[in-house]
């Protein structure tokens, strides 16, 4: 089974100069679409679940779906990641379930809504790092807050990441990856016009990467919200207002400056909803759920294939042998977990 830690997957991406999409899953069709896309494009992949997805699937259903993905596609390196853990307990339970990576989002308090202070963020993130690294699991932290709300998570306020503070944050917590706030937001309504340099602070990525060349940077809220997906929904009775996402070229610019993980959720949601609406508008006598879930799966797969190709992860699935979590535990224990990205992991 090619279950890998996210740290290894991102280290390899840094060495190869590409980005890896982290795609949210909630149900079987999404997991299948994602894995078919990864298999077809020969891509390593991050399969991630939000707190909301875990609640929706009663945890066990989702973890078994994710494990099925690993089992059915042994040649695809897969990292299972907890997206936006709202407390250390959420991260610990994810680790217990078999996730190989967790995000402790201490930028917000445990209610998932109220922006926290720096000391709180450092304390909870550090706590998760100590626990996770002791069992070989990767940790992503977040500094600054994104706009928008995702699965009830988010303050709705934007606080851009301060590059100087980011250096302190990484030093004090020991995280593997840092989610940066550069003006993107969660959900479909990111921008009311095509984003320009003053709303999307790509220069911040560059500044943070210069100061933290050995920390993998993560872009959240990075769906591109393609017009054709929105148009399909609206052509079949939907009412999505005019909206713009993050242009793929901006993400590719980020990848050239240290972005290794790119979170995409909305684009697959749009693809699925459009396909279901279209299918239901077809044969009105049809009532087999597979008649609309199958096209939904196909539509999502097309989005995943496109993003995997654009982010550069396509073709890299066979580049390396997956390390076990035990090997990763030794890697952290040897304190070689720092300053090693861009090179293959070497164990003592
Ligand atoms: Zn996010």
Q: 287 CA to middle of ligand 1, Å? A: 35
pTM > 0.75: yes or no: yes
Are 80 and 100 in contact, with CB atoms under 8 Å apart?
A: yes
List Cα–Cα distances, 210 to 7, 31, 133, 215, in angstroms.
20, 36, 25, 10
The candidate with the shortest Cα–Cα distance to 34, out of 229, 43, 5, is 43
What whole-number distance in Å separates Cα of residue 120 and Cα of residue 126? Answer: 10
Question: Which residue among the candidates 39, 59, 75, 83 is catalytic per the annotation?
Answer: 83
The low-confidence residues of the chain, meaning pLDDT below 70, are: 1, 150-151, 335-348
Instruction: Please give the structure tokens belonging to residue 225.
Output: 């919200």
What whole-number distance in Å separates Cα of residue 273 and Cα of residue 27? Answer: 14
Q: 330 CA to middle of ligand 1, Å? A: 30
Are 57 and 116 in contact, with CB atoms under 8 Å apart?
A: no
Q: Helix, strand or coil for residue 260?
A: strand
Q: 233 CA to middle of ligand 1, Å? A: 24
For residue 109, the model assigns a pLDDT of: 94
For residue 148, the model assigns a pLDDT of: 74
Give kind and range of the element (H or E) at residue 207.
Answer: helix 202-211
Are 6 and 138 in contact, with CB atoms under 8 Å apart?
A: yes
Using the CB atoms, write b or e for 124-159: b if 16+ within 10 Å. Answer: bbbbbbebbbeebbbbbbbbbbbbbebbebbbeebe
Q: 5 CA to middle of ligand 1, Å? A: 19
The candidate with the shortest Cα–Cα distance to 48, out of 78, 92, 68, 90, is 78
Q: 48 CA to middle of ligand 1, Å? A: 10
Give kind and range of the element (H or E) at residue 91.
Answer: helix 88-97
What whole-number distance in Å separates Cα of residue 250 and Cα of residue 186? Answer: 16
Q: 221 CA to middle of ligand 1, Å? A: 6
Q: Is 86 a catalytic residue?
A: no
Q: 251 CA to middle of ligand 1, Å? A: 15
Q: 27 CA to middle of ligand 1, Å? A: 19
For residue 345, the model assigns a pLDDT of: 39
For residue 342, the model assigns a pLDDT of: 36
Using the CB atoms, write b or e for 160-181: b if 16+ within 10 Å. Answer: ebbbeebeebbebbbbbbbbbb
What whole-number distance in Å separates Cα of residue 74 and Cα of residue 2? Answer: 5
For residue 192, the model assigns a pLDDT of: 87
**DSSP of 295-336, one letter per residue?**
HHHHHHHHHHHHHHHHHT-TT-TTSSPPPPHHHHHHHHHTT-
């Amino acid at each position: 089974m090619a279950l890998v830690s996210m740290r290894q997957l991102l280290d390899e991406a840094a060495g190869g100069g590409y980005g890896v999409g982290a795609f949210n899953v909630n149900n079987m069709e999404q997991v299948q679409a994602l894995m078919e896309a990864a298999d077809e494009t020969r891509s390593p992949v991050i399969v991630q679940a939000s707190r909301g997805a875990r609640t929706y699937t009663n945890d066990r259903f989702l973890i078994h779906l994710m494990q099925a993905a690993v089992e059915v596609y042994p040649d695809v390196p897969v990292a299972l990641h907890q997206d936006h853990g709202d407390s250390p307990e959420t991260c610990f339970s994810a680790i217990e379930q078999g996730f190989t990576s967790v995000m402790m989002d201490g930028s917000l308090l445990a209610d998932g809504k109220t922006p926290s202070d720096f000391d709180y963020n450092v304390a909870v993130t550090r706590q998760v790092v100590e626990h996770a690294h002791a069992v070989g699991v990767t940790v992503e932290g977040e500094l600054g807050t994104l706009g928008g709300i995702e699965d009830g998570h988010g303050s709705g306020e934007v606080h851009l990441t301060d590059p100087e503070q980011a250096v302190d944050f990484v030093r004090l917590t020991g995280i593997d990856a840092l989610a940066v706030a550069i003006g993107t937001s969660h959900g479909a309504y990111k921008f009311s016009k095509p984003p320009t340099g003053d709303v999307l602070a790509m220069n911040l990525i560059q500044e943070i990467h210069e100061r933290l060349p050995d920390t993998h940077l993560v872009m959240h809220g990075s769906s591109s919200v393609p017009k054709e997906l929105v148009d399909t929904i609206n052509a079949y009775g939907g009412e999505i207002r005019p909206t713009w996402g993050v242009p793929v070229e901006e993400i590719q610019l980020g990848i050239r400056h240290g972005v290794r993980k790119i979170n995409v959720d909305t684009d697959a949601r749009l693809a699925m909803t459009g396909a279901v609406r279209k299918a239901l508008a077809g044969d009105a006598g049809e009532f087999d759920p597979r008649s609309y879930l199958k096209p939904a799966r196909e539509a999502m797969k097309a989005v995943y294939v496109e993003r995997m190709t654009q982010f550069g992860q396509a073709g890299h699935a066979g580049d390396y042998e997956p390390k076990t979590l035990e090997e990763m535990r030794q890697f952290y224990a040897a304190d070689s977990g720092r300053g090693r990205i861009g090179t293959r992991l070497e164990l003592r």
